[in-house]
Structure 1
Amino acid sequence: MRKRLLTWLTAAVMFIIPATAAAQVGQTAVLMGTVTDSSGAAIPGATVTVTSPSMIGGSRSVVTEADGSYRFPALPPGTYTVTYELQGFTTSTRENVRLLLGQTISANHTLSVGGLQESVMVSGQAPIVDVTSSSAAKNLPQEVMEFIPFTSRFGPAAMLLAPGVNPNNYSSYGSGGSSSNSYMIDGVDVSDPEGGTIWVFASHNWIQEVQVIGLGADAEFGGFTGVASNSLFRSGSNIFTGLVETLFENDALTGTNITDDILAQNPRLTPPTTDYITDSTAQIGGPVKKDKAWFFTSVQYYRPITAASGFPPPVNEFYTADQWNVKGPIARIENSPRFLVKPTVKLGTNDQITGFLQLDSYTVDGRGQGSRVAPIATVHQDSPEAAWNVNFTKVLSASSVFDVKYSGFWGYYYLSPYNGDDTMGWVDFDENVFAVNSYYYYNADRTRNQANASVSQFASGFAGDHNLKFGVEFERSTVKSELGYPGGGYVAAYSGVPYYAYMWDGYLRDSRNTRMSFFAQDSWQVNNRLTINPGIRFDANRGFLAAADDTVFKSNSWGPRVGFAFDLLGDGRTVFKGHWGRYYDGAKSTYYDLLTPANPFYLAYLDPGTLNQVGDLVQLTAGGSVHTIDEDIKHPRMDQAILGLQHELFTNFSIGVTGIYRRNENFIDDVLTDTSGFTAVTRPDPGPDNITGNSDDPGTALTFYRQTSDPRDNRFLITNPDDAYRDYRGVELMAEKRFSNRWMMQSSWVISKIEGNINNTGNFGNSTEYDSPNTDPRFQPFRNGRLTNDNTHIAKVLGMVQGPFGVVASMAYFYTSGQTFTRTVRQRIDINREIFAEARGSQRFDARTQLDGKLEKQFGLGDRRRLGLTFEGFNLFNTATITNRTTRSGSTYFTPTAINQARRFRVGAVLRF
């Protein structure tokens, strides 16, 4: 494998070095511009020099070309001083030029005639509007990461603050939840290769800034149909800087928003409890040798002890204390130590190596707690992991950069029962409780290895200027997931009496993803006002299944993209942009791992007194392989078109509007191949109370499907159902005040409509719509409609101001329209069958509003040391919004089952130096 990987990388590097290309490199930004005289004529031969505390190796200089243009590729994000000088002209210096992650900023400059010894200082904020980009990337700068109140201390979760990302569930512009996004740190993917969710646990304090891009993303971005989030780890510098912080919260700092009315509807919906939560971090960065070698390192210890609403429940009357809580924890107890080291080494004038090593151990007692879960039925979680990255960058010239990186992670998480591996858990269907032991165990092992190489170059003289980039990516990841029942089954009990057991030997899904990607991207500046951004991406995904000893999944996906940006007024302050592109989800083993031969389920009748089996086992499902895969399977994709306008209203303040259309297709589902063994059964809709013949009956008929054939003969084809779709239409309004004059603000308002027949609560891999006529949209017309995460309005306002006397005040406001829901009806047909009783998304929960605030009082301690005392409040108005209810017709219909978190406060102290 190592020899094959080396061959691929060598071939890729040899192939791309002669090519031309340009743009961002995952951890950098680009500064470019044109130098002219007072008449507007280009000035060739001027020296442009940049310096920044963020840039290792000292200052960097270039000489302007014949057309007066200059370019600094691969600059680390930060604040720069730019100096322009030429014999016969007054030397001019621009200060405070801010470059954010992934940006290409134009800083044009005019030199005045004068002596070289003369100089002038210019307040030089970089333009806030990029008039060459057709994307609508969002940056969360250092001020947001450091001062905006944010309840999560999990670094990559900061993307929830970005426009278009649902702050409650990671669904982005209508996408299928967290697994539809690409999660990167320092430009490398850290997603779980099984289903695409976040894997690496990074501290909030480690993140310098975050770039979130989904609208108009260039061809170098792939593996998502939601958004791509790139978090930049902090780096060292020529001076020692650091931080020591500790945060604390407990029950005394937590309120309640569960009213008597809500509690009357659901007595189990009691407030959660917080024994305490502590989060302590110590970090330092600085020089090993100035301008040659830097380091940044940090340790964090996160320790929460909490209990979910209604946990631990009192001992049920039909169970003994030993069957309930003798071995299980009565709270969720987490221990999470985390460590990071990131070196930066300057090898020569133009060569640089960066990287990181991140370690953590995520240990939890009491995972899976709930108001109906006995403490002994929870599980213990053990999950260490390590992640790494090595990145070599060579600046070949002022116009060309070569970049190569190797990254990966290793880790596992094991969920273990408290009452031994041989004791079956009990599920009581009368009492609706879990007792005696966890009814499952789960072991997950993961690895990811990835190598990326790219070359970029600026080229002019061919119908304009071209910023081109060409790259190759190779990914190999392994997934091993084992699920089973302790004791080989779980007991089905009724009011504490065990009548039978479901027996199953579990599964072991062992798979390997391999992906090879190529991309080419151009930013073609036709003239000084029009830029065209064409690109193409190719992804070859392969899935190897150990059980088949074969590559069972193959998809080859072309992703063309093209955009434009037009400087509407020619002054660099207003851009009209548009983009069309095709995007594909990442490599996931869940697309094909159902091909693993299945162990059959059995039913065993039990002697209630002895738990001994009575009679023979009854086989319920077929064993062996019941799935096949379409040889022409296609990768899930999203086509996207945007059209937008952005305008710099005044210095450092911009407004914008973007229209968005997205169409998701090629969903993967295991489709029941033969539906002839099902017979339609028509029943009257009994209404919300599930009782026919009274006033709430709507008078309509529902069609269920009874299986007349043997369920053990069911066979499924993993394929792309032709009619599966998801449509998103939206408008995004934004206003941004970049940090200056002691304050900043980011605000957005996204108005959207999301329709389809594949829900967007998750995009883990295989859908479950087409495996039964009772859920298949071809048989159930109510499956089409407004999707669950069709939140019509998502509004966010983030703000921060540095006041007098060392006081920093900040806030975050969120408004989210309620999720949709659909009433369902369950009827005993052949077995219990449940279908939609109305069009998908016919009803909606209440909207959620939340205002968070933070105050920090800073005390100067001399020699660049500052002590800050922090006070944060979340849900300051203590709003009470029901976020979920029972949606199945019956006596508990519309009963509240979840509520937003009540007002709580967090106090802390932070020493910065």
Structure 2
Amino acid sequence: MNSNNRKLRRTVLCMALGLGLASLAVPAAFAGSNDGSVVGHTAAGAVITVNNTATGFTRSVTADAKGNYRFPFLPVGTYTLESSKDGAPVGHAVNVTVSLGNATTVNVGGASDATALEAISVSGTILPGVDVSSTESATNVTREQLSRIPVDQNITSVAILAPGVNRGVAGFGGISFGGSSVAENSFYVNGLNVTDFYNRNGFSSAPFAFYQEFQVKTGGYSVEFGRTTGGVINAVTRTGTNDFHFGTETTLEPGNWHSRADDHYRADGTRYLTAGKDRDSLVKLNGYVSGPIVKDKLFFFAMYEARGATPRNTNDDGTVLTSNGSDTGFWGATIDWHVNDSNLLSAMAFSDKDKNVGDVYDYDYENQQLGGKTNEIYTDTGGKNWALTWTSYLTNDLSMKLMYGRNNRESFNRGLSDLECNRVATDGDIPLPGIGLGCTTNSLVSKRNDVRKQARADFEWTLGDHLLRFGYDSEKNTSDYDRYYPGPGALYYNVYQAAPGSSISNPSGGVVPAGYTGYVRARRYEISGTFETTNSAYYIEDNWQVTPNVLLNLGLRRDGFDNKTGDGDSYIKMDNMIAPRLGFSWDMHGDGTTKLFGNLGRYYLPVANVINIKQAGGLLDERTYYAFDGWQTLDRNGSPYAMPILGPQLGGVDVSQGDGSVGDLRSEVDHDMDQVYQDELILGFQQMLNDKWSWGVSGTYRRLHNAIDDMGITQTPCGPLLDSDGDPTTQWVMANPGSKVSIWGDTNCDGTPDGYVDIDTAKHGWAMYDSDGNYLGERGWVKPKRTYTAMEFQIDRAWDDKWAFNASYTLSWSRGNAEGPVNSDTNFDDTGRTENFDDPWVNFGGDGYLPNDRRHQIKLRGTYAITPQWQLGADLQILSGTPVTGFGSGNPYDATSYHSYYICVQNCGFIPGEVDADGDPVPYPSEQRVYERSPRGKYGRTPWSYDLGASISWQKPIGTDSRIKAKFAVYNLLNSQRTLGVNQDLQTSISDSTSDTFGEGVRFQSPRFAQLTVSVDF
């Protein structure tokens, strides 16, 4: 056998790895967001043909003068590949699997004279292994793989299989990629962007049985992907073929298959978190049918899933029990039309609409007695989604893909008691009255309908050693929004414990008077309107095969974002955001078995629609503070409830973020705002050890630049800002903290706004006063920063119908003073409107390890076939804990009392023996208080967590093409309920004492539960 054939045999053997290797988090291919490609080398001038026998789709290309060929934009599936020259076959036909976002390399021959090549028989199917044509990092998981391991039926559970990807550490959930916050990711289904653009924490999701394959992109993704500084989850749906198929799948999670959650108690025996009666219960019945409408031409896939979910939960005090019920049907469908071998049309649609009704009851947890029904809460979510995709192979070297789609997400929350009942909450320190607070458990009335209209065009053009990829992507995102608090006056009462003489967090001023041990904040918060954002991008990329073994990837993406006001005018508009991407791939041995790769890229993050709504609309946000004078008992429909008794008003009415009018927004947004972007560097190595085993290692460095957040400007070059009464006031501005800010104001200090005023907020912008109101000068803000450094190690054993195994270890550091557009450690999920930069002192001294920092992440999963019918599966995730910070209230430089990285340790209360004219104690002046720093992570970390899942599955053929399959899975098999998050408020007000609840667990691992899935396919 000649050397070419020996090389071919080695390459084909090493590429035949099975679907298990596709799950290795290694570079993915330059391919569209709902397809894959086949590339390789054969005899110069040979004709290569791929044929999908299941659909009849056939495509042929001619190899160039160097023998290179490429099939772009191939629908996911299995193909037969043949090569011939001058009518003579080059080798034998082979089966090739095209997976999502990957390029499968198939080298057939290597000489220009095909007749000199000896035929080689190939067993098995060639699948994506070491993709030497790419510099991306991704993890692929197929429907078949998921059926073999214990993975719960949601996309989050799939995403966290990838190294460096974890659930968010805050109560509002989400997914963190590579140290990023949960509000920085993008999600696609068949190329349609389904990311929640309101606050970017969430996505539309089809029924799980609708998906065929997932790709989790963790870094280095190419230029057709943008609008993310976190990660990308890309999914493709199931489709029809020439054979008719139908089947059903039933998933059962009875309530008694869920272990009891632990209640949690303080040292004195007081229960502060009641969870023992919380219980989930779920039944899903899915049916599907697929097949040809016209054989070899037109295919369909359709499914419907009936779902009955009946979870119940109590409030933390155990005084209210809510029994939920949701029985909405979910559906999805695809139609694929092979117009001819050069043109394909695909349509996809699905609905994730859900309607939940929560029946709310009084509850006596101690005696396990259910009282009367007090409310009903109605929650509508989700919507209908669709996309049309047209793919054309214009010439042998030029291909095009056009897509247009619509993504809809509704969110409507309301309750029966909204008209007559206010919401009441406490900070946990105020003594409770022993009955329920307020007469509603509904915290707000909100209705939002988000509609995304998306269009994109993608092209691939092969020019010799260069593969040019270019395209355009546009989105129009519209939010119809209406929100207010329930109850008379639309007021929400929050009751806080505070010592007499303590300052409260009210810019209008206010001190808790003598004789009172707390205060009440009465907040009115209303907004409505229609808000639009448009996003657009152009991209171009050159994949240059410099040598047969070295590929350079040179890409450029230009983004533009335009967030508009409720009146349709531009509010935050940024364009010419140039994102370069540079990567390389070195096929070290020239046979596709060993690769060194790297990627350097820039990624931009758009501004969420929540900013338009709450900053550029008619927002009314009034906060009035009162001394807390105890509880009063009232009655509604025979059920008693408690309301706070309001004492004297403390300070004035704080119009915090809006007075109900739009106003002149030029003074509320930075005219020359810089974008938020992240630079990323990845260097990695991957090697196939044999036809089943492979391993890889990679290093990642990410650095986030800038933040867009609301800032409280209190001084301009003309001096401190004063209101009409001559008192200090605050101008809230969306801007880049720590950078130059340009806002509409008074340029010549005559009291009349007449132009743009520049303020270097690294040094200026915040006026300081002593306790007597004397002006002391001004200060600026620290610049936000975040870095992520990681080493990832991974080893994979491909599935061979006997067993498969994957193991990864991630060692990482996430450092800085800003997590991103949300705050997990203070549980603040209003994207882009954190308190981090409200004044210069909130984030002063805030450098350290960030909330998503996990030093060690170990992930193991595998499958073992006991017999051809019986399989065991396991998934183990071991994670080190996250930092615990003790947040203070106030700082040594100013009288404000936001969260801070300082605690008051001396002169925090009253001056001994001193009283004012009314006989009330006199507090120490703010400049006499003594603080000590309380840096990030000072109080250690949450404990390590261990989550083991196990499954056993059985399958039996029924005839030739049918089967029955059952999988029984247990999640959190060891029933570990370790603490995942703690209360990090060390001081909730400026006082000598610290909070008794600091360090208490507030979020824990979900208890063990079991799931049975039975499917029948014909």
Q: Gaps (5+ residues) in structure 2?
A: 1-28, 366-370, 497-515, 635-642, 717-722, 739-782, 903-933, 987-994
**Alignment partner for residue 31 of structure 2, among 14, 24, 45?**
24
Mapping for residues 157-172 of structure 1, pairs under 5 Å? 158-167=158-167, 169-172=173-176
In structure 1, how many angstroms separate the alpha carbons of the residues matched to 2:494 and 2:142?
55
Q: Gaps (5+ residues) in structure 1?
A: 1-21, 36-42, 316-324, 677-706
Mapping for residues 250-289 of structure 1, pairs under 5 Å? 250-256=254-260, 258=262, 266=271, 268-274=273-279, 276-289=281-294
In structure 1, how many angstroms separate the alpha carbons of the residues matched to 2:117 and 2:550?
35
Q: TM-score, normalised by structure 2?
A: 0.75
**Alignment partner for residue 772 of structure 1, among 815, 835, 839?**
839
In structure 2, how many angstroms separate the alpha carbons of the residues matched to 1:542 and 1:358?
29
In structure 2, how many angstroms separate the alpha carbons of the residues matched to 1:620 and 1:113?
82
Which residue of the partner structure matches residue 392 of structure 1? 390
Contact 1:166 1:794 in 2 (8 A): no
- Which letter maps to 1:808? Q
Which residue of the partner structure matches residue 1007 of structure 2? 902
Mapping for residues 307-706 of structure 1, pairs under 5 Å? 307-308=312-313, 310-311=314-315, 314-315=318-319, 330-366=322-358, 376=374, 379-427=377-425, 430-431=431-432, 434-437=437-440, 438-460=442-464, 465-486=465-486, 487-490=488-491, 492=493, 502=522, 504=524, 506-508=526-528, 510-547=530-567, 549-593=569-613, 594-601=615-622, 603=624, 619-621=653-655, 623=659, 624=661, 628-674=668-714
- SS of 1:401's equivalent in the other structure is strand
In structure 2, how many angstroms separate the alpha carbons of the residues matched to 1:149 and 1:368?
34
Aligned-pair CA distance for 1:229: 1.3
In structure 1, how many angstroms separate the alpha carbons of the residues matched to 2:677 and 2:361?
36
Aligned-pair CA distance for 1:223: 0.9
- SS of 2:491's equivalent in the other structure is strand
Contact 1:90 1:115 in 2 (8 A): no
RMSD across aligned positions (CA): 3.6
In structure 1, how many angstroms separate the alpha carbons of the residues matched to 2:200 and 2:361?
25
Equivalent pairs, count: 832
Q: Does residue 817 of structure 2 align to residue 748 of structure 1?
A: no
Which residue of the partner structure matches residue 11 of structure 1? none
Mapping for residues 172-191 of structure 1, pairs under 5 Å? 172-191=176-195
Which residue of the partner structure matches residue 968 of structure 2? 871
Relative to structure 1, the CA distance from residue 530 to residue 449 in structure 2 (aligned partners, 3 Å threshold; closer, same or farther) is same
Aligned-pair CA distance for 1:187: 1.5
In structure 2, how many angstroms separate the alpha carbons of the residues matched to 1:667 and 1:478?
23
Relative to structure 1, the CA distance from residue 77 to residue 330 in structure 2 (aligned partners, 3 Å threshold; closer, same or farther) is same
Which residue of the partner structure matches residue 235 of structure 1? 239
Aligned-pair CA distance for 1:120: 4.2
The farther-off stretch of 567-576 and 286-295 is 567-576
Which residue of the partner structure matches residue 14 of structure 1? none
Aligned-pair CA distance for 1:847: 1.1
- Which letter maps to 1:724? P
**Alignment partner for residue 715 of structure 1, among 731, 734, 737?**
731
Contact 2:243 2:291 in 1 (8 A): yes
- SS of 1:845's equivalent in the other structure is coil
In structure 2, how many angstroms separate the alpha carbons of the residues matched to 1:180 and 1:135?
18
- SS of 1:657's equivalent in the other structure is strand
In structure 1, how many angstroms separate the alpha carbons of the residues matched to 2:886 and 2:351?
45
- SS of 2:603's equivalent in the other structure is strand
In structure 2, how many angstroms separate the alpha carbons of the residues matched to 1:555 and 1:291?
45
**Alignment partner for residue 302 of structure 1, among 301, 304, 307?**
307
In structure 2, how many angstroms separate the alpha carbons of the residues matched to 1:166 and 1:725?
21
In structure 2, how many angstroms separate the alpha carbons of the residues matched to 1:192 and 1:370?
35
Aligned-pair CA distance for 1:30: 1.3
Relative to structure 1, the CA distance from residue 790 to residue 591 in structure 2 (aligned partners, 3 Å threshold; closer, same or farther) is same
In structure 2, how many angstroms separate the alpha carbons of the residues matched to 1:64 and 1:30?
15
Aligned-pair CA distance for 1:535: 0.2
In structure 2, how many angstroms separate the alpha carbons of the residues matched to 1:901 and 1:600?
36
Give per-residue Cα distances to partners, 1:33-92, cap 9 Å, x unaligned: 112xxxxxxx334332322346x3433333333322222222122223222334686653
The farther-off stretch of 353-362 and 613-622 is 613-622
In structure 2, how many angstroms separate the alpha carbons of the residues matched to 1:547 and 1:431?
45
In structure 2, how many angstroms separate the alpha carbons of the residues matched to 1:302 and 1:658?
42
Give per-residue Cα distances to partners, 1:819-849, cap 9 Å, x unaligned: 2120123479978654334211232101111
In structure 2, how many angstroms separate the alpha carbons of the residues matched to 1:718 and 1:370?
43
Contact 2:447 2:482 in 1 (8 A): yes
Contact 2:263 2:275 in 1 (8 A): no
Which residue of the partner structure matches residue 69 of structure 1? 68
- Which letter maps to 1:864? D
In structure 2, how many angstroms separate the alpha carbons of the residues matched to 1:729 and 1:131?
25
In structure 1, how many angstroms separate the alpha carbons of the residues matched to 2:362 and 2:342?
57
In structure 1, how many angstroms separate the alpha carbons of the residues matched to 2:383 and 2:142?
28
Q: Does residue 186 of structure 2 align to residue 213 of structure 1?
A: no
- SS of 1:389's equivalent in the other structure is strand
- SS of 1:859's equivalent in the other structure is strand
Which residue of the partner structure matches residue 937 of structure 2? 841
Q: Does residue 878 of structure 2 align to residue 815 of structure 1?
A: yes
Give per-residue Cα distances to partners, 1:231-255, cap 9 Å, x unaligned: 1011111112333111112232122
Mapping for residues 144-155 of structure 1, pairs under 5 Å? 144-151=145-152, 153-155=153-155
Contact 1:218 1:561 in 2 (8 A): yes
Relative to structure 1, the CA distance from residue 222 to residue 454 in structure 2 (aligned partners, 3 Å threshold; closer, same or farther) is same
Mapping for residues 10-159 of structure 1, pairs under 5 Å? 23-35=30-42, 43-53=43-53, 56-86=55-85, 92-110=91-109, 120-126=121-127, 128-151=129-152, 153-155=153-155, 158-159=158-159
Relative to structure 1, the CA distance from residue 710 to residue 894 in structure 2 (aligned partners, 3 Å threshold; closer, same or farther) is farther
Aligned-pair CA distance for 1:331: 1.7
- Which letter maps to 1:475? E
- Which letter maps to 2:559? D
In structure 2, how many angstroms separate the alpha carbons of the residues matched to 1:23 and 1:407?
22
Contact 1:488 1:505 in 2 (8 A): no
Aligned-pair CA distance for 1:96: 3.8
In structure 1, how many angstroms separate the alpha carbons of the residues matched to 2:582 and 2:967?
46
Aligned-pair CA distance for 1:887: 2.5
In structure 2, how many angstroms separate the alpha carbons of the residues matched to 1:598 and 1:547?
13
Aligned-pair CA distance for 1:333: 2.4
In structure 2, how many angstroms separate the alpha carbons of the residues matched to 1:494 and 1:119?
79
Aligned-pair CA distance for 1:105: 2.3
- SS of 1:102's equivalent in the other structure is coil
In structure 2, how many angstroms separate the alpha carbons of the residues matched to 1:122 and 1:48?
19
Aligned-pair CA distance for 1:549: 4.2
- SS of 2:1014's equivalent in the other structure is strand
Relative to structure 1, the CA distance from residue 808 to residue 600 in structure 2 (aligned partners, 3 Å threshold; closer, same or farther) is closer
Q: TM-score, normalised by structure 1?
A: 0.84
Relative to structure 1, the CA distance from residue 807 to residue 150 in structure 2 (aligned partners, 3 Å threshold; closer, same or farther) is same
Contact 2:494 2:522 in 1 (8 A): no
Contact 1:439 1:490 in 2 (8 A): no
The farther-off stretch of 299-308 and 112-121 is 112-121
Relative to structure 1, the CA distance from residue 157 to residue 179 in structure 2 (aligned partners, 3 Å threshold; closer, same or farther) is farther
Aligned-pair CA distance for 1:117: 13
In structure 2, how many angstroms separate the alpha carbons of the residues matched to 1:289 and 1:250?
42
Contact 2:190 2:348 in 1 (8 A): no
Aligned-pair CA distance for 1:396: 1.2
Aligned-pair CA distance for 1:98: 2.3
Aligned-pair CA distance for 1:815: 1.4
Relative to structure 1, the CA distance from residue 23 to residue 870 in structure 2 (aligned partners, 3 Å threshold; closer, same or farther) is closer
